[in-house]
Amino acid sequence: MKFHISVTAILLSLFSTSISGLPRFFPNITSIPPSFLPNITGAGWQSFQKLAGCHTGEKADGLARLKDYFHHFGYIPNSASLNYTDDFDQALESALKTYQLNFNLNTTGELDESTLQQIVRPRCGVADIINGSSSMNSGNKSSSTNGHFHTVSHYSFFPHRPTWPSSNFNLTYAFLPENQLTDSVKAIFSRAFNRWSAVTPLTFTETEFFYSADMKIGFFSGDHGDGEPFDGVLGTLAHAFSPPNGRFHLDEAENWLTDEDVGTSAVKSAVDLESVAVHEIGHLLGLGHSSVKEAIMFPTISSGTKKVELASDDIDGIHELYGSNPNFNSSSSTPSSQERETSDCGVHSLGPLWVLKTLFVAVASAMLLMY
């Protein structure tokens, strides 16, 4: 018992030391003080823009960082050395072609304009390709050989299809107390959960007991102890772990928008909170990324846009994991009624490395708690 308590204390201290401050929320873009709006050209991955036109055989400053980007999201497999060079080599060309396939771009293997525009968009930190497999477009090529991947829909799952057990479909969630979220911000997460409970047998209830909740939501900055440090404004926006881990982390450095109507704006450094929340909850429930641009589980989201309604692809995917909500009428969710915004949401994609880390952390946590 004493050991259990001490382990809990250690875990608590780990969490508490990784917090750096309070997240910032704004009802809309015009309410953001100019001092919080960074120079967009220096934020996130904008520096990749200078690599336009680069192709195999060339050498250019920034290609090593681009390789690191592709490695993070699963497009360059783990190698003995992660000290990438600035050479545009075959590995990078191969990664680019797979990326272009996943994002419905022409598979040129070059850094053309449309590919770069997609690469620099803010996104989910979860990888697109995990353990070398993906059910985004690139994974569909494998379907003809092993039948494991989906050929019609483009939703995907984590390796081994982890889900919440049927004995625990009534899930609880809690917010990191140190973030001191207001009720109105918490209500945004509640709306996001409701979108998933409306189509599944799952229910989600907020609890004040953070450390015993099934799902733990927190805003963190930089390195926060799980091997997936946040990168400041834009870039990766958030990430979440596969079931039954339950951790959902958001980048504290973003300018989070809380209005129901984000609208459009020339300001590109603010992100709609509910859009990101709906996407990350999909991961918490076991969905991976989708190549369907209209899907919530598409890896990127444009700053300043809102995309919160589940697409038929999302619904098909979650139904395969949990079945439908008896009250859900699928005819009311035809493609024509889905979100029509062409937001390239800058949500995250987690890669193979991410999943491995996730599994490791989950197993380690489980072992600790068994004592």
Q: Which residues bind Zn ion (CB under 5 A)?
A: 124, 126, 226, 228, 249, 348
148 is in an annotated binding site: no
**224 annotated to a ligand binding site:** yes
**Shortest Cβ 299–Zn ion spacing (Å):** 6
Give a three-class secondary structure readout of the chain. CHHHHHHHHHHHHHHHHCCCCCCEEECCHHHCCHHHCCCHHHCCCHHHHHHCCCCCCCECCCHHHHHHHHHHCCCCCCCCCCCCCCECCHHHHHHHHHHHHHCCCCCCCCCCHHHHHHHCCCEECCCCCECCECCCHHHHCCHHHHCCCCCCCCCCECCCCCCCCHHHCEEEEEECHHHCCCHHHHHHHHHHHHHHHCCCCCEEEECCCHHHCCEEEEEECCCCCCCCCCCCCCCECEEECCCCCCEEEEECCCEEECCCCCCCCCCCCEEEHHHHHHHHHHHHHCECCCCCCCCCCCCECCCCCCCCCCCHHHHHHHHHHHCCCCCCCHHHHCHHHCCCCCCCCCCECCCHHHHHHHHHHHHHHHHHHHC
Looking at the Cβ atoms of 156 and 172, the one nearer to Zn ion is 156
- Output 127 or 202, the one with its CB closest to Zn ion: 127
Minimum distance from residue 31 beta carbon to Zn ion (Å):
27
280 assigned to active site:
yes
Of 228 and 231, nearer to Zn ion (C-beta) is 228
Q: Which is nearer to Zn ion, 111 or 124 (CB)?
A: 124
User: Please, which residue, 51 or 296, has the CB nearer to Zn ion?
Assistant: 296
Does residue 297 have a known ligand-binding role? yes
The annotation status of 370 as a binding-site residue, yes or no, is: no
Strands in 255-257's sheet, in edge-to-edge order, are 24-26, 255-257, 270-272
In whole angstroms, how close is the CB of 44 to Zn ion at the nearest point?
16
Out of 110, 274, 280, 341, which one is annotated catalytic? Answer: 280
Annotated ligand binding at 259? The verdict is no
Residue 154 is labelled as binding a ligand:
no
Smallest gap from residue 241 Cβ to Zn ion (A): 8
Q: Which residue is nearest to Zn ion (CB)?
A: 124
Minimum distance from CB of 37 to Zn ion (Å)? 25
Bind-site residues for Ca(2+) = 214, 231-232, 251, 254
Active-site residue set? 280
Bind-site residues for Zn(2+) = 124, 224, 226, 239, 249, 279, 283, 289, 297
